[in-house]
Amino acid sequence: MEEHRLTEPFSKEKICRYKAGDTVYITGMIYTARDAAHKKLAELMFAGEKLPFDIENAIIYYTGPTPAKHGKVIGSAGPTTSYRMDVYTPQFLEKGLLMTIGKGYRNEEVKKAFYKARAVYAVTIGGAAALISQKIKAAEIIAFDELGTEAVRKLYVEDFPVTVVYDTYGGDLYVNSKIAYLESMKNQIK
């Protein structure tokens, strides 16, 4: 497992270097979207309307940050459980979405869609939302203000830490970790 730095402009060429289990520190513009925002984005997409941001080579972070305290850019901004976006993810990947960041497992169809699109699914630290928010240097609501914490935001992040779960080669950190654990247990029994 290696460490990498990913800076704008984001591209498939850059993320193809990453393997499941690698740590990536992202610097640049990413977007937030949760369940309600995904539904609205999908409706715009299917109606052939312009999205509030260019989805090609974009990174979406599944979070609904709390309101910012006085003098802060953003409140707590921990990851949301990713599988809730699974119904929309394959279509977004087909439009060029480069990476999603959240927490937890994805369904098999979505896992295959990441591989087909040569895109990456990554996770970040759950339970440390206040620490994660320190990596967010600017935040601006760009769509669906009526959704409150679920509004789409444009975030500028510096050294935002993620771990690659699904890489562009079909690697799966969760599967690899289980296999490594079982192998270590088998070796202990011998």
Active site residue 38: yes
Q: Which long-range contacts (CB under 8 A, 24 or more apart) does 180-183 make?
A: none
The beta strand positions in 76-184, using DSSP E, are 99-102, 120-123, 136-143, 152-166
**What span, in angstroms and rounded, lies between the C-alpha atoms of 3 and 156?**
21
**What span, in angstroms and rounded, lies between the C-alpha atoms of 11 and 148?**
30
Query: How many residues are listed for the chain in this entry?
Result: 190
Catalytic one of 14, 34, 38, 111 = 38
Any idea which residues carry the catalytic annotation?
A: 38
